[in-house]
Amino acid sequence: MGFGSDDATASPGHLDRQVLGSLGVDEELPDGFKPSHDELLFRIRRLEDCLAERTAGDNNCITAHNFPAATRSTAKTVSGTNYVTLFSTHHFSTLHDEVKSPSIVELTKKLPPLRQAKVLFEHYALVLHPNIGVLHIPSGRALMENNYQCFLEGEEPSAADLMLLFSIFAGAALLWSPQLLAKLNATREEARSAFLAYIRTAMCLLDHPHGLIQASTTALVAIGMMAHLVMNTDGFPLKVHMLRHRCLLMSREMEIHRLDTAKSIEARRLKGCDMIDVEVQRRVWWNMVASDWLLAFSGGPQEGAYTFQPRHMNVNLPSNTDDELITAGGIQQVFPLSVPTSMSAFLLRVQGAQLCREIIDTLPSILLDSQYPDYETILELDAKCHRAIDHIPTYFKLDRESIESSRSICEERPYIAWQRISIHFSLNTRLCRLHRPYHLEGVKNPKYAYSHEVCIRSAQKVLELRQALDEVDSDIGIKPARFWVMMHHVFSAALILAMDVSFNPQAPGAEERKAKVLAAYRTLEKSKHDSGYLMEGIQKNLQTLMATLHKQRSRSSAAAPSEPSLGGDGGSVEPDKAPGKDQPSNIAPTVTENEGTFISDAPISDFDLPSEGMLDAGPESSWEKLWSDFAAVAPELDVAQWNTLLEDVDFHPPLDIY
C-alpha cells in the first residue's frame, strides 16, 4: 500500500503541490512526477519544515517577542534534524562540535528554508554586495533557486554551490538589520548564532578531509567572501591568511593570472566562453589584489610588503557596468567611470590600492629601515594622493555641490552614499598614515608643519566620516560597527588626535579635537554590542597604551621626583591632585602574548581603564577619567617613543574563533 492509493486522482506530486501551495512555498513539480518512497519521505519532512516555519512566524500565536527564545527549540526538533534549519534555531545546533567529517547531506541540513533563503539573499545583495562586488547577482540568485529545486528532487548538491550559499547567508546574518530580523522572526543573538553556523559550515566544506571543493569560479567567489567576512569580524586571525592563500593557489591553478593574455583571448574566441564566468574571475582576481595592496599600507605586522606583482599578471579590470548587462554571450554595454554602476566603487577601490602599492614601492625605508626618505618624496606622494581625490567622479565627491548634484543618483542607487563615504574614509586613512612619522616633529619644526596639519586634518576627517556612516545606515541597513577594519582605523585616528592635544593643549582647536576623541571612544564603546572581539582588542590596546605612559612617568618621577606632572591644560598638577595609588583600579596588570613581560613590569593601578563592567555601564565619566590620565602623562613621551607606540597598536583576536 502506497501513499495516495485510496484516491487515484490524488497523486503524490499533486498532493505536494496542494500542500506546498497552501504554505506559500513556491516549488513547482512536473506533471506526472512519481517520487520513490525515499523521495516521499523527503517531501513529508520538507512539509514539516514548512509547517514549523509558519508556526514560528505566526504573529497571532507565539512570537520571539512574547515567548522566551529557549522555548522555540521545538522548531529545531522538526527542522534541524531533517533537511533545513530555521534561521532562528542555530543556537541549538551541535553539528560543528559533534561531527568532524560531516557528509554533504548533513551539511545541507544547515540551510534555511527557501523562503528565508530568498530573504537572506536579497539582504546580502542590498547591504554587503556593494562592499565586495564579486558576485554576479542574477547568477547567484539563479544558483540558489536551482540548488533548492535539486534538494527538493533528492539530488545531492555541488559542494562549491553549497559553500557559496553559506557564505552569502553568513554575510546577510552578519549585517542583520531590524527589518531582516522581523522578516525572519529572529533576535540579534540568533542572527549571531546563524552567522557562526553558516561561516563554520562554509569552512567545513572548504577544509573537508575528502576534498569536496575543486577549483571553480563558484569556489573562488565563496572563498573570497569568507575571507572578507572573517577579516571584518575579527581582524587578521590565521584563518584569513589561509583563505586568501587558498584563493590565490586556486586562481593560479585556473590560470586566472593570465586571463587576458593574447593567447587566452584567442582561445576564448575560437572555443567560446561564458562571459559571466570571465567577468567574475576578473572581479575575484582584482579583489584579491586590491586587498593585498591596501593592507600593505594600513599599519600592523603585514605593512610594507605585498604579494601580487603587476608584472606577474595579465588580467583586465572588471567592466564598469551593472550585472544585468552581463550575459553569458557578452557584455551589452560598458560605461566610463563618470557613469555610476554597481561596479564603480570596486574600480575606485582598485585605484586606491594601486596608490598604496606605489607608496610602498617608493618608501620602503620608512617602514623597514630607521632612516626616513627625503621629505620632498613625502610631499610628492601627498600631491599624488590629492590628485586622486580630485579626480574622483562627481557622484563620489564630498563637497556640498557634488552631493546635491548627485541626489537623484543616490535615490536610484542608495548604496552610492555609503560607498562615497567609504572611499574618502580609506583615502584619508592613508594620507594620515603617510604623514604620521612627521606629525609630532611638525609641532616644533616648521619644515614639517604641513605634515602635522595634514595628519590632524585627515584624522579628524576619518572620525567625521565614521559618524556620517551612521546617518546613511538607516537608509541602507549597513552597520559600520560590524566592520572590524573600519573601527580599527577609527581607533588609530582617535589616538593621533589625542596625542596632538596632549602635546598642544593650548593650540587653536585643541578642545574641539578633544571632543572628537571622546566622541570616537564612545562610538567604539557602543560597538561592543556588534563586535565583542573588537572591544577586546581596544581594551588590550588601551592597557598597553596606559602601561607604557605610566612606565615613562615612573622613570621621569625617579629622575626628578619633585617636578610636577603636566596636566591636560598645560599647567602643573599638585601631588595630592594627581592620580593616587589608593584609587580603585578596574583592570589588573596583564601579560599578553605580544607584549611579553612589558606590561607586568609597569603597574597600571594608577589608571582607571574602561573595564568590561565600565563598558557595559557606559558612563561618560570613565572616558573623561581616561582622558585625564592620558593628558597628564602623554606629554612626557618624546617623538620617537610615540612613533614606536603607534607602530605597536594592533589587534590580535583569538585564532580559533571558527
**Domain layout of the chain by residue ranges:** 12-254, 344-577+617-648
Residue 301 is classified by DSSP as T
Per-residue pLDDT, 596:
30
pLDDT digits (tens, 9 = 90+) for 416-469: 998 999 999 999 999 999 998 888 888 888 999 999 999 989 988 988 888 887
Which of the residue ranges 264-273, 346-355, 622-631 would you say has the lowest mean pLDDT? Answer: 622-631
Please say if the pLDDT value at position 360 is more than 80.
Answer: yes
Q: What is the pTM of this model?
A: 0.75
pLDDT digits (tens, 9 = 90+) for 592-619: 333 332 223 333 333 343 444 444 444 4
**What is the number of other CB atoms lying within 10 angstroms of the CB of residue 8?**
7
d(CA 228, CA 288): 10
Residue 413 is classified by DSSP as -
- Comparison of pLDDT for 624 and 457, the residue scoring more: 457
pLDDT digits (tens, 9 = 90+) for 505-564: 777 777 777 777 777 666 666 655 555 555 565 666 666 666 655 665 565 555 444 333
385's enclosing H/E stretch is helix 375-390
Q: What is the full DSSP assignment across 200-258? A: HHHHHHHT-TT----S-HHHHHHHHHHHHHHHHHHS--HHHHHHHHHHHHHHHHTTGGG
Residue 10 is classified by DSSP as -
pLDDT digits (tens, 9 = 90+) for 299-342: 777 788 899 999 999 999 999 999 999 999 999 999 999 999 99
d(CA 56, CA 45): 16
CA dihedral 99, 104, 109, 111 (to 10 degrees): 120
Per-residue pLDDT, 477:
57
SS3 label, residue 496: helix
pLDDT digits (tens, 9 = 90+) for 154-170: 888 899 999 999 999 99
Q: How far is CA 482 from CA 176, 531, 535, 539, in A?
A: 10, 6, 11, 17
Per-residue pLDDT, 102:
84
- Comparison of pLDDT for 555 and 107, the residue scoring more: 107
Q: Mean per-residue pLDDT for 624-629? A: 63
Q: How far is CA 496 from CA 428, 436, 460, 503, in A?
A: 13, 8, 9, 11
Per-residue pLDDT, 495:
80
Please say if the pLDDT value at position 88 is more than 70.
Answer: yes
- Comparison of pLDDT for 273 and 531, the residue scoring more: 273
Helix orientation angle between 344-362 and 415-435, rounded to the nearest 10 degrees: 10
**What is the number of other CB atoms lying within 10 angstroms of the CB of residue 648?**
15
639's enclosing H/E stretch is helix 639-648
CA 242, distance to chain mean position in Å, is 17
- What the block records as the C-alpha cell of 112 is 534555511
Percentage of the residues of the chain whose pLDDT score is greater than 90: 41
Percentage of the residues of the chain whose pLDDT score is greater than 70: 60
Q: Indicate the average pLDDT of the chain.
A: 74
d(CA 318, CA 124): 21
Backbone angles phi, psi at 331, to 5 degrees: -100, 120
